[in-house]
Structures are given as structure tokens and as C-alpha cells.
Amino acid sequence: MEGAAAAEAKIIDGTAIAKSIRSDIAQAITALRKSNPTFYPPRLVILQLGSNAASATYIRMKLKAAEESGMTVEHIQIPSDAEAGPSSHSGAGVAKILDVIQKANADEKVSGILVQLPLEGASTVEEKKVVDSVAVEKDVDGFHPENIGLLNSRIAEPYFTPCTPAGVIRLIESTGFNLQGSNVVVLGRSDIVGTPTCALLRKKDATVTQCHRHTQNLQEIISRADVLVAAIGSAGFVKGEWLKKGAIVIDVGTNYIADPSKKSGSRLVGDVDFASASQVASHITPVPGGVGPMTVAMLMSNTFDAAKRAWQAGRDRRVTPLPLTLKEKVPSDIEIATSQTPKPVWDIAKEMGLQADEVESYGKYKAKVELSVLQRLSNRQDGKYIVVAGITPTPLGEGKSTTTIGLAQALGAHLHKVAIACVRQPSQGPTFGVKGGAAGGGYSQVIPMTEFNLHLTGDIHAVTAANNLLAAAIDARMFHEATQKDKALFDRLCPAKKGVRAFAKPMLARLKKLGINKTNPNDLTEEEQSRFARLDIDPATLTWNRVLDTNDRYLRSITVGQAPTEKGLTRQTAFDIAVASEVMAVLALSKDIADMRERLGRMVVATSKAGDPVTAEDIGCAGAMAVLMKDAIKPTLMQTLEGTPVFVHAGPFANIAHGNSSIIADRIALKLAGIEPGDEESRNGYVITEAGFGADIGMEKFCNIKTRVSGLKPNAVVLVATIRALKMHGGGPAVTPGKPLDAVYTEESLDLLEKGCANLGKHIENAKKFGLKVIVAVNRFSNDTDAEMALVQKYALSVGADYAVPANHWAEGGAGALEVAKAVVEACETPSTFDFLYDVNLPLVEKMNIIAKEMYGADGVELSPEAQAEVDRYEAQGYGSLPICMAKTALSLSDDPSKKGVPTGFTIKIRNVRLSAGASFVYPLAGDMSTMPGLTTRPGFYDIDLNPETGDIEGLF
């Protein structure tokens, strides 16, 4: 640093001011991270082309400053073309820099990108191309054309101010001088310092004169300046006698002059003759120690601002709704769906706060979401959790999926809350059979509905493949055990490879289960080899069926092994529909990949002749099944007609399995909708998840099975009711798909409706037994009258519902579910008192009795001898503490679909009991429940076709 001034000029100590700035930034980062754990330290990427010595010095300064500021820095040095040698093509270094910048632009963890200039060996055109390629929101140097343009605008502010000009302003302001109306001369016209400094000074309302070495009457102009900023690049160019008495001098110059007294032979001086200027000026910056440290400090400030801006943008979660064009006569579902142009799925992801590396696109409108988001948001509080259930439905359905989507649209697009719907992936069985698709309906749908209702991202195919791999492995193992002796069987299971025998990973698990503490196949005794190699499955106990995602009644009972190659080892088995597979239930109940892998391994497929459970791990293919499921475990992101987010994941049937979408989808949604510690409660969002069929089935399983596994507690339940269904429960004639409705359903009938309301009352009572807030949504159809709607609402409130409101989202979209949405918001303002219906440690039959009595109103359960034998076996094998997953008809509270309303004086007849050890439940089969639906005489596939001219799908509903 140059010697102290002999006269009155005060030194503006840039080093001290910069140190203070860095210290303030470090403290601010610490404080922000303490109050907001999801705010990570700002990360700066510095890119250098070549090994310029001066650049290396500047980079070391920046690395040290970043460390002192509490930031992380990555310095990426790329060899110049000259350094890379003759094998490198011209421009390779610049191309590599551009590639690194592109990746850093997309990396959400990178706050700022700095290109250290000059780029060694690059032309000015190439330098500009590189600088311009930095994303404007990460351009912490402030050199991007958009930043420069905004800097010169009177009505806008740049994302970032160039660091040296920003440092100049801070140094002037540190003197206490008021720039407004002052006369400032900027000596220099570079794009990096001179010109942007002028723009900043104008924004401070200073009168600015920009000069350069060729400006006429330069000395005279400088003599009138209250403030001089010298950035001309000429050592000692400005003399003290040129200055106005008391002027402030900011010297930006960095010039090396010969100095034999220095070890290096040179020293650094500015553009102003310090010795003479300090005799005239009131304040002056030294060189070094003035503007230089401030440039680096302002770079740190810009990087911190970039990190805060990106973090805040991730928290904003502002959904841009898609407008609906409502028609008085509501068109078909597919017409409505195809008339709306969805937002690109990445737009939905960004609006939710997902990062680029957490989203895997499957085309334009759907994407898989990585489970890593759960770790990133682990400190975030969960949003509000709403389950949508319904009364006992008619075979036509009462619009529960439609209500789920309509409610999400109302909360997200109309009340501007974060609202995420979580729904199951529909099976192609119902889609091509009777019920049709499950995307919702009318103006409350998931889009694109054709993709939603068909293959989507292939999850059901993955479930099918994994299930059938295990089925094939079981039959193959039984065949090989039946046709080989112990030694041959063991030798084929553990063959020598290059003279070495080893156990595969699942084999080690089986050895541990058997209590054999050996890891070398050669060490096993003959008795141990036999125990290891022979699963000795009792064919009569086999419960594992093959699956297919098609309604196919002729696969309900089949015979396998009829080819001559199977040597007469035939057996009777069956196919289930894919969504009834335990693999699907495992997918829905897994909490992460490790949990899914463990659950797949412990699935019980049969019992050995010695009475021991035989698992998929024993068979040896659980790991391969997990590989087939590795992508299926990620939820699929889609959107509603109004552009609000939807997670589609898993599709277990509710009348066979537990009938709820995945825990993983709910967990991710709850974190994305949730708030940071200390945030205002008004920022909290809502997750709306659907439970299949009536509340006696889907909601009961949601509460007793899904929430036990997830640990998540719902805030409220929305019970969907319709006038049509309640009239049927009041004694109305049968409602049959494909047949016209009886006149009683299209005309006002208050007496019939009032009788049927008892079914609604029973479901309200059931929900209250779990301690849930209950919002009854009366889903209005076009023939429903005001008197009928009022009757249902009044009745619901009289029997304990917390809210009872009309809903018309089918015809009006989210706007038609606003009353439901407002009731949900109000209900969630106070906590629920959620609890389970039974203690899992009770005996299996006692748990069945509790469900039958409390949920269905039955006198209890009655087990067939076969079912009782299965219960005894499962309890003896250690599975007695699992929850119960009742498989019964959805069309009645009883096990007889013809009994409507609120039946009494009946027992639930259990004809069979199956074990889902991987999914962690036991499921009794009540009544005539089938795990493979059949096609009717007139299935829905008659109406589905592909338009040969446009390629559009027609007839899907």
C-alpha cells in the first residue's frame, strides 16, 4: 500500500469494509440456516480457461473470501488449446467451458457462476459467447447482456450489479457523501467498470460525465467533479492539481510499474497520482487495498443474493392455473380432456418446488419424481393431510375420484393454496371392462386422461413382470426338487465357476434363516446341503398366483404343467388381476427402496411340508423383482384440468387389497406442500389422497393399515355422498351399468332419500371412530333438487358431520368445489384426534370381529374350517400381529351386495384367509369375492378405438 497522505485526505479502507461485508454475509448465512434448515450454503463455481498467473492470483483471493463468507466454491480449471497439445482441436477449451456452464446452469445446488477473464487463447467473440451462456439468475459477475440492459433501465433492476461498480458505490457511500444532485466524473468507458458505474451513479440521481483519455478539456472537466472515479488503465494519469478541493477519489486502476526495491521488481499503482491527489482530496482509495477487495466482497454479496433468491423461488410454489372453458351441456370426459392443453410437466415440477435432478421426464406431460426429494426436504413440516372416501356406492360410482380432483383444483387454482392430489393408477381391467377410466370426470380430471388410463409409465407392467417372475420361479423350483436328488440339486444351485463355489446373496439370507453360520458351499454337511437346497413346498398351501391386468374370467382356475417336459407334474392354480398382486400392495406400502426390497423378500408364497413359511427370498428372486420395480417405486407427476399437480402411484384394489395410493407419493406430496419451521401457518398446503370404494373399505384400510406403516396422521376425511346412491339405500330399484336409471332417481323423492340417509350416517359414525373431522361433500347431479340437497346436508350435520356442503365440480371444475375446499381449510385449523380402531396385537379373528361389528354393523364373523385352519397356521408362524385387510363387496356394508342401506342381524362369512407378509397384512376373503374380475356381455372396449386419420384415442371414458 502507498504511504499515508501528508495532508487531509482520509483513506477509504476497502480492505476493512470488504472484511466487514464478508463477516456480515457469514453471520447472515448462519442465521438463515439456523431458522431455515433447507437453506444450504451458497455455492459459487469459478471457471478458468488456461493458467494465466494473474487470473490464478485473483481466483485465490475469491476462494479465500468465499470461505470467510461461509460459502462453498468449486474452481474448475480447463486447459487452454495450447496447453492441451496438438491432439486437441481448435476451440476445444471453449467448448468444454460451455459444456460445464450448461451443467452448472441446470444444477439447483449452484448459486452463482463466475467466468474468470481473460479466457486464455479465446477470441473476443468466444469470450462473449461464454459470458452470455451463463444463466442470468446465476450471473454473479453481472456481465450477462440482460443484466447490463436492466442496469441501464430506469424502470427495472438487474438480477446482479457488476461487482467492481457495486464496490465503487459502496466505497463512496462509506464516506457519508450524498450522491443525489452531485457532479461525478467517471474516467473510463469499459463494459466492465466505466459504463456500468455510470449507470449506477445515475440511479443514485448523480449528474454523471463519462470521459476517456481522448476527451477534450479533460483536466477542466475533472476539476469540477465532486467525485472522481478513475478507471482508465494508465499509471498515475490523474494529478492532484486537476482535482477539485475536497473531492472524493475512487481509484480503480491496477497498473504495475518498475520498482527495484520490491522483490518482484514491480509494484501496483492506480490511475491517480496518490501523493499529489491526497493533498487535495477529502477521501481517497489506496491501490492496493481500495477497490480490489471490494470487488471480491461484492461478488460474495451477489452470490449470497443468488442463493437467497433461488431458495425463495423454491419456497414460493406458485401454481399458474389453466383456465377452463365451461359449457352448459357438459361434454364427454374425453372431449373435455383433449380440449385442454396441459402445461409441460417441468413447469408443474418447478411450481411445486422440485429441482431439476429430482424429475425424470416421460414425455411432455408426465414425469417420475426421485425419492431423493424426501431427504432434501426432511426438515420441512408436513402439509395438511386429507383422505377422500365415500358412502356405499352404486355400481356406477359416486364421483369420489372426481371429488378428489375437483377439491385439489378448488384449493390450488381458486384459493391459491399448495394443493396436491394423490391418486391410484387405474387398472386396464375396469378401463376396458365396465367401470371405465379413473381420471375423474367432467371438468375435474387428471390429464392427459388417455395416458393416465392406459400404460402411463409402465408401473403396472413392472408389477406384473415381478409377480410372474416369482410365479415362474416357484414352479421351476418345485419341478427341480421333484426330479433331482439332494446332491445334484445342491451342486446345480451352487455351481463352481472357474473352480470356485459361492453362495448368491439370497442364499446367504436363507442360510441365516436356517441357522447355518457358514458362507462357503464346500463347508456344508450333507444334512445342511439338503436343508438348504430343499424348500419342500406343500403344493396345497401355495397362495401365489400369476397375474394379468385384464378382466379374464377364464383364468380364475387353470391347470399348469401339462407339457410333456414337465413330466406329469401338473397342478391347479389361477390368475389374479395385476392390481390384486401382493407386489402392488408392497409398492403402495413401501417407504423407500430398501423397505421395498425387504418387503419383497419376506412375501410368503407357501408353507413347507414341515410347516415353515416359504418366502420370495427363499425362492431367490426377490432381488431380481426389486430390479424390475426400481422405476415403479417413483411416483408419476401429472396435472389436473386446471393445471394443479397430481401424483399417480400404485393401484391396489380396495375390495381386494388396501385400496390406497402409495405412501411414498403421500410423503413426497406432504413435504412439498408443507412449511419450514417458523413459517406462517397460512403458507401450509394440502394433500388430498383418495381411498377406494366406500369408507367402510378404503377409509378403514387407510386408517388401520396405511397410516400404521407410514406414521402419517390425517387431518380430516371428505365423505362423498350422492342423492342417487342414498335413494338406492332407501329402497330404490337396482342401479345397473348400461341400463337407464329408474324415474325415482331423476325425480324428487324426499321420503326415499330420507330413508337412505342412514347409510351416510353409518359412514360418518365410522369416520368419527377414528377421531377424524368429517366434511360431507354432496356431489350434485343435474336432476338433484335444492330440497334434496338441503335434506342431505341437514341430516349429515344432525348425526355428527362437522361440515356438509354441496359440490358441483363435475360441471364447474374447481369453482364447483369451493365450499368443500373452504370447509377443508377450516377443519384443518384445529388438530384431529386420530387413533386406530384396534390393537394389532389382538388375535386375528378378534380383529376381524372388531372391523365387522364397528365398521359394518355385523354381529361378527364366521370362518369356514379352511379359513380357521389358515388363521391357525399364520398365527403359529408368527403373523398374528398383522393388521386385517378385509376383502369384501363394495356394494353393501355387509358381505351380500344385495343388502342396501344399513343392514343388521348378519354375520360376515369368511371363506378363505390369505397372508400378505410383505405388505404386512392378513386378508380374509368374505362372501363371493373374486381376485380376477370378468368381462360382461357388453364391455367398454367396444367403444374404444383409434382414429386412423388423426391418431387420437376415441371412446375412452
- Residue 153: how many CB atoms within 10 A of its CB? 11
Q: For Cα atoms 627, 631, 635, give the angle at the middle one, nearest 5 degrees.
A: 145
Please name every residue paired with 283 in a beta bridge, in sequence order, or none if there are none: 10, 248
Closest CA to 920 of 614, 706, 635: 706
Whether 698 and 406 have beta carbons less than 8 Å apart is answered as: no
3-state SS assignment for residue 850: helix
Tell me which residue of 455, 584, 33, 11 sits closest to 251, measured CA to CA: 11
d(CA 160, CA 150): 9
* 195 and 189 Cβ atoms separated by less than 8 Å: yes
Cell numbers that stand for 719 in this block: 365423505
Q: Is 107 one of the annotated active-site residues of the chain? A: no
> For the chain, how big is the Rg over CA atoms in Å?
36
- CA 135 → CA 108, 358, 573, distances in Å? 12, 20, 61
CA dihedral 535, 538, 539, 541 (to 10 degrees): -110
Q: Which one of the listed residues 116, 355, 639, 793 is annotated catalytic?
A: 116
C-alpha cell at 326: 365451461
Residue type, 360: E
The verdict on whether 355 is a catalytic residue reads no
Neighbours of 701 (CB within 10 A): 27
Cβ(172)–Cβ(196) under 8 Å?
no
SS3 180: coil
Classify strands 367-369 and 636-640 as parallel, antiparallel or unpaired. Answer: antiparallel
62 is catalytic: yes
For residue 765, what are the contacts with CB-CB under 8 A and spacing of at least 6? 799, 800
- Quick one: cell of 440? 375423474
Pairing assessment for the beta strands 945-946 and 921-926 based on DSSP bridges = unpaired
> Could you tell me which of 757, 766, 755, 763 has the C-alpha nearest to residue 793?
757
Rounded Cα–Cα distance for residues 727 and 329 (Å): 25
DSSP letter for 478, please.
H
Residue positions counted in the chain: 957
Cell numbers 431423493 correspond to: 372
Single out the catalytic residue among 13, 81, 141, 475. Answer: 141
Q: Measured between alpha carbons, how far apart are the two ends of the chain, in Å?
A: 80
Amino acid at 172: I
- Asked if residues 44 and 114 have their Cβ atoms less than 8 Å apart, the reply is yes
Question: Distance between CA atoms of 209 and 226, rounded to whole angstroms?
Answer: 11
Q: Measured on CA atoms in the order 620, 622, 623, 629, is the torsion positive or negative?
A: positive
Alpha carbon of residue 943 to chain centroid: 36
Q: Nearest 10 degrees: CA dihedral of 894, 898, 901, 905?
A: -50
Respond yes or no on whether the N-terminal peptide bond of residue 395 is cis (omega within 30° of 0): no
Catalytic residue among 13, 48, 62, 366: 62
Q: What cell numbers appear for 367 in the block?
A: 414425469
How far apart (Å, rounded) are the C-alpha atoms in residues 509 and 503? 10
Query: How many Cα atoms are found within 13 Å in the side-chain-facing hemisphere of 901?
Result: 14
Active site residues: 62, 116, 141
